[in-house]
A and B are shown apart, each in its own frame.
Chain A
């Protein structure tokens, strides 16, 4: 009898530091599976963000660089420009990418840099202890919006996939989630497509993954999945926002 289920080669045999109910583990696995399937592990460089995934390099088995907060797309640009043969992806959260790193992501996408961004959106700063992010929902309580996000002061949550889809430069922009098994298959397909565009040297590719943060939302993992599905997915709508073929 053969082995029915195994760990991807690109994934390290390690216990993660992620909280129960967090989806980073699932997303890490999908990325690792795709890297294995495409056979690119030996020429892949990942870029870890600042945030909960800062230690992501402990869970993958290929080259990794660690960025400053929000700067991963600039680092990825540097790598791809001098070594276009390397497969490069940034793995960033919403505080990292949509707040302090907004400039870097917009311009990398607009230059059409040929790398891939996995953008994990859980509507809150995770590692620093649950502060309000640009993606925090109206009325959502966080440690820096104790009365709930006030849109009069903080504005509405930023929809990154929609924002990047407005750029005229060809690219692949999609929003997925992994909060339930039925979404996971679709998310994996999108991540694979994103890397395939990079392998083909085609365009910048961006996969937003709507996630959970039971710890900082003050919920159980099951409540978090429910809230993510009912509240986040109502605002952060799943789907393909842009493909390079559209513009062609």
Chain B
């Protein structure tokens, strides 16, 4: 581990990419993530990296696509309206199987919404913001330190699955300052991409040409292509699910499912309720896709657990996945806000007490 430094989340995300071995960054300014671009505009030249401010998020998405297809590690950061514009490219990148890392520091929506923190892009990220049958590995950090670690593992994961990956942080993750360490052992070298990348025939042992595309006009070929993509998503479900269980060892009367910054407030509420003699457990998905289905189901149906509640900074998006996991075996509720105010521990305690 390196030494501990105090950093704003957005800057730490930029630094983490460099430490992870990604020296190529394309972006367009948008609140509340512009500090990443500002940080890397200075930092990339220092490390011999590439910094390009694109003319729009639409173009930035394709700059990533081109650079990744040419074999480079590459990433961008944006916020909700910008990610809507990038979603076109994300669909193409998924179809053409190129490793790219996208960071969404979510702000409130829909439309321009607001600039304060939100988790309103759960559906967009997890269910597919772009067209067609694709999925994206989505990781949701709950602290600046976790954002750094997720950034660093995102690049090898994107290469393992040859596709887009998203780090989904609510605005607080980008804006708050916390002490962070950059774990040296998470630095990785880019994978060998000679079997598919368009990095120039003369630069490859095979000497044969490569083609990066998403068009399959023959119905059988397109179906096969989608089956191939599906096999990767199925593999993610087997190998990449990450979650944290909190206060689930003993018995509890209620189970919270919450992620990102919201889950930290829930922890405080759980600690406070414990002092009042009310035991509440929590599952915090760290990957939103693949979703920790089995962990949530098992925790929900534990004897003594009467209710399940999904607490989110949105109008109830993840709750649909929680309901899917619980399969009607316990009542599933939702509580949340999405104007930019984070629900307080007191509000959450109230919700839990009313539910049981």
Contact = CB atoms under 8 A, between A and B. Distances in A.
Contacts of A107: 54-55, 59
Given A47-B66, A64-B212, A78-B26, A41 B92 contact: no
Given A42-B201, A65-B212, A68-B88, A79 B66 contact: yes
B270 to A, nearest CB: 45
Interface stretch (B69-77, B161-169, B289-297, B320-328): B69-77
A74 B62 contact: yes
Interface string B46-73: 0000101011101111111111111110
Scoring B64, B65, B214 by chain A CB atoms within 10 A of each residue's CB, the highest score goes to: B65
B74 to A, nearest CB: 7
B89 interface: yes
Contacts of A215: none
B211 to A, nearest CB: 5
B317 to A, nearest CB: 27
Give the interface size class of chain B: 35 or more
Given A57-B213, A79-B70, A71 B62 contact: yes
A106 to B, nearest CB: 8
Interface string A43-71: 11101100000110100011111111001
Interface residues of A, number: 33
Contacts of A47: 66
A63 B59 contact: no
Interface in B172-225: 198-203, 209-215
A103 B58 contact: yes
Nearest to A80: B66
Contact of B74 (A44, A67, A68, A82): A82
Nearest to B52: A81
Contacts of A66: 96, 211-215
Given A61-B209, A78-B64, A85 B200 contact: yes
A194 interface: no
Given A63-B211, A75-B69, A82 B59 contact: no
Scoring B56, B58, B96, B214 by chain A CB atoms within 10 A of each residue's CB, the highest score goes to: B58
Interface of A: 41-45, 47-48, 54-55, 57, 61-68, 71, 74-79, 81-83, 85-86, 103-104, 107
10 contacts: A43-B200, A65-B66, A65-B212, A68-B62, A75-B69, A77-B66, A83-B70, A83-B72, A83-B199, A104-B55
